[in-house]
A = this chain, B = another copy of it.
Amino acid sequence: MEVTSSNFKEVLPEIEKVINSSTFLAIDCEFSGLNVVSEINAFDTPKQYYEKVRKNCKEFLVLQYGISAFRFDASEKNFKQQSYNFYIFRRPINNNIPDQRFLCQTSSINFLMSQGFDFNKLFKFGISYLNISEESGYRDKLEERKKFRSNQNNTPQQNQDIVPIPDDVQPVVDDFMKRLSDFLESDDDELELPKCNAFVRRLIYQTTGQKFTNKIVLHTKQNKNKDRILVASKCKTKEEQQEIEKRLFEEELTNLDDFIGFTKVLRIIVESGKLIVGHNMCLDFLHTIDKFLTPLSVNYEEFKDCAHSLFRNVLDTKFMSSSDEFKDLIQSTVLKSVLETVSKTPFAIPPVEVEKGGQGYFVEDLKEHEAGYDAYITGLCFISMWNYLGTLKKLSIEETFKDFALLKPYLNKLFLMMLRDSQYINLEGGDPNPPRDHVFYLTFPKEWKQSNIIELFSPFGGVYVSWINETSAYVGLHKRDQAAVALSTLSQSDTYSIMPFIKRQSQLAGLKTPMASPAPSNRRKRTIENTFKCNKKLKTDKTPLGKMKCPPILEDVEAESDATPKKCPRKEAPKTFVESDAWD
């Protein structure tokens, strides 16, 4: 089902029911750009990888969010499926939320266009969202304004708040006061004042407070032309005036509830605790948290703790299909190929049908890269692999699909694209730490090309070169046993420098945190506290949705737009990793 701002409110209760009765949820996102490929180094650690992808999350938008809910029906021994394809776009709200700037990547836009994506629909009927930091900022501003209005009307203004009126603006202010005074004499209940700029509006508020205390109350609204104008109402008694202000504040809260929009779906998912499945889902997962829940922490360990406290069970089918259990059976882990593979023996996709009265996809729809469809396909791949694990243990279909323990080895591990030695993010523990004794950090004159590096190492067999910038690279020996002799042979040179990978990593860690980092035990303690905060904010708060009172947040919203891609000059070296179009 396509969900836009036109039907979102109406469909939300159904979505909540569907989520809560599901066995698992498959998700997929479409973005305004990825741009991660060029910054990732094949020898990045999961932490370094996170830091790069996090930056991308701050710059690009989620344009479409697909959720495919699968429910195992034990009586019919099949899966019921319902899928939703959400168009996500936050139109400018008002002064409570900064006007958003976002990056687009031409290739991503073009790719979506070629798949029939409707940008007009997106920009017109996209569903709004606010993460908890944005919502909290919004609430603060509402409170502030409420206070301002009440001060303005009830107490004489204090001298230091008064902005002097420049001579050239005085006639404009006088004209407005004349209008207000005429309005007071008239029988009208409300007066829309002419358009004026923010500074003049500020002066009108101030002068009205001085001249018409307890007689006129002002508020700002957007007229049909989207201009911000002042509207004046009369107030005869103090009670009446408070009544008006109360009504205004409540209207503003209702608006806020609308702006929270798609975030509600994510909060339902978090509350439900359901298993979330995605294919190559690292980027989707990070964007989900950052855009709809809480800004991604700059601290990697904090991110992991927070993410795991929000989503207890996450499964990446790209990780699963490239794991030892499946890698010999599934040659290509591109989503489309996985589907093809798991549709044939030794796999078998269990029967799936669309839930009665619901809407879903069929494989034949071929709506590749529509988020809802891709989520659905991901779900199919997942249940076929799950089913396979069951058959290995000779379980019946009913036994398999209630046996989440079968999935244990694959849970909470996010596949990381483009890394050399099958790294992943482990959300519930330490990340893998593959031996990299055969990898060196090399610096050299900027005239050097790939061939110079290859030549340098040629006595020790072939190498894999992963450029960092034009004067440095990581170099991995194909023959790992040559590492020690390579290092000792090559370490004396004035032209280049060489050091073991691990030494370079400590160097980098030292550069970034000149203070000694806290001992692991302390660190753990600190992050557990944060997890609790993160939990409290989003999971255990039982006040009605959209009305929760939020504690101060990890980071400033404003700061987000400041995230800059660090330019990484890169030689025209042959790319030794999968190309960007394979990000799926």
**Alpha-carbon distance A154/B120, docked complex (angstroms):** 52
Tell me whether A198 and B579 are in contact (CB under 8 A).
yes
Which A394-438 residues sit within 8 Å CB-CB of chain B? Answer: none
Answer whether residue A105 sits at the interface, using C-beta atoms and an 8 A cutoff.
yes
Task: State which of B99, B110, B564, B575 has its C-beta within 8 Å of the C-beta of A92.
Answer: B110
Q: Mark A123-143, 1 if CB is under 8 A from B, else 0.
A: 110000000000000000000
Inside 8 A of A463's CB, which chain B residues have their CB?
A: 164
Answer whether residue A188 sits at the interface, using C-beta atoms and an 8 A cutoff.
no
Answer whether residue A11 sits at the interface, using C-beta atoms and an 8 A cutoff.
no
**Alpha-carbon distance A581/B101, docked complex (angstroms):** 16
Task: State which of B227, B455, B462 has its C-beta within 8 Å of the C-beta of A160.
Answer: B455
Which A172-208 residues sit within 8 Å CB-CB of chain B? Answer: 197-199, 202
Answer whether residue A104 sits at the interface, using C-beta atoms and an 8 A cutoff.
yes
Which A130-175 residues sit within 8 Å CB-CB of chain B? Answer: 160-167
Least distance between A43 CB and chain B CB atoms (Å) = 15
Least distance between A514 CB and chain B CB atoms (Å) = 23
**Alpha-carbon distance A107/B100, docked complex (angstroms):** 8
Tell me whether A575 and B91 are in contact (CB under 8 A).
no
Tell me whether B102 and A104 are in contact (CB under 8 A).
yes
Tell me whether A579 and B166 are in contact (CB under 8 A).
no
Answer whether residue A300 sits at the interface, using C-beta atoms and an 8 A cutoff.
no
Which A527-574 residues sit within 8 Å CB-CB of chain B? Answer: 558-559, 561-562, 564-565, 567, 569, 574
Answer whether residue A447 sits at the interface, using C-beta atoms and an 8 A cutoff.
no
Answer whether residue A495 sits at the interface, using C-beta atoms and an 8 A cutoff.
no
Chain B interface: which of A46-54, A111-119, A241-249, A344-352?
A111-119
Find the B residue at minimum CB distance from A109: B123
Inside 8 A of A166's CB, which chain B residues have their CB?
A: 462, 464, 478
Task: State which of B102, B114, B574 has its C-beta within 8 Å of the C-beta of A198.
Answer: B574
Inside 8 A of A565's CB, which chain B residues have their CB?
A: 101, 561-562
Tell me whether A107 and B92 are in contact (CB under 8 A).
yes
Tell me whether B110 and A105 are in contact (CB under 8 A).
no
Answer whether residue A33 sits at the interface, using C-beta atoms and an 8 A cutoff.
yes
**Alpha-carbon distance A581/B90, docked complex (angstroms):** 19
Q: Mark A432-461, 1 if CB is under 8 A from B, else 0.
A: 000000000000000001111011000000
Task: State which of B114, B120, B163, B462 has its C-beta within 8 Å of the C-beta of A454.
Answer: B163
Answer whether residue A509 sits at the interface, using C-beta atoms and an 8 A cutoff.
no
Known: A105-B101, A167-B478. A451 touches B197 (CB 8 A): no
Answer whether residue A578 sits at the interface, using C-beta atoms and an 8 A cutoff.
yes
Answer whether residue A522 sits at the interface, using C-beta atoms and an 8 A cutoff.
no
Inside 8 A of A366's CB, which chain B residues have their CB?
A: none
Known: A91-B110, A106-B90. A581 touches B226 (CB 8 A): yes
Answer whether residue A577 sits at the interface, using C-beta atoms and an 8 A cutoff.
yes
Least distance between A513 CB and chain B CB atoms (Å) = 23
Tell me whether A165 and B107 are in contact (CB under 8 A).
no
Output the residue of A103, A106, A113, A202 with the most chain B CB within 10 A: A106
Inside 8 A of A227's CB, which chain B residues have their CB?
A: 581
Inside 8 A of A91's CB, which chain B residues have their CB?
A: 106, 110
Task: State which of B202, B228, B450, B581 has its C-beta within 8 Å of the C-beta of A163.
Answer: B450
Find the B residue at minimum CB distance from A123: B113
Inside 8 A of A582's CB, which chain B residues have their CB?
A: 197
**Alpha-carbon distance A163/B163, docked complex (angstroms):** 71
Tell me whether A114 and B226 are in contact (CB under 8 A).
yes
Interface residues of A (CB under 8 A from B): 32-33, 35, 90-92, 99-107, 109-111, 113-114, 118-120, 123-124, 160-167, 197-199, 202, 226-228, 449-452, 454-455, 462-464, 478, 558-559, 561-562, 564-565, 567, 569, 574-579, 581-582
Q: List 19 A-B contacts (CB under 8 A).
A: A33-B101, A91-B106, A101-B103, A101-B104, A101-B105, A101-B106, A102-B104, A102-B106, A113-B124, A119-B120, A120-B120, A160-B449, A166-B478, A167-B462, A197-B579, A198-B579, A202-B574, A226-B581, A562-B567
Query: With contacts A113-B120, A197-B578 known, what are 8 further pairs, Cβ within 8 A?
Result: A92-B110, A102-B104, A111-B226, A119-B119, A160-B451, A166-B462, A197-B579, A558-B567
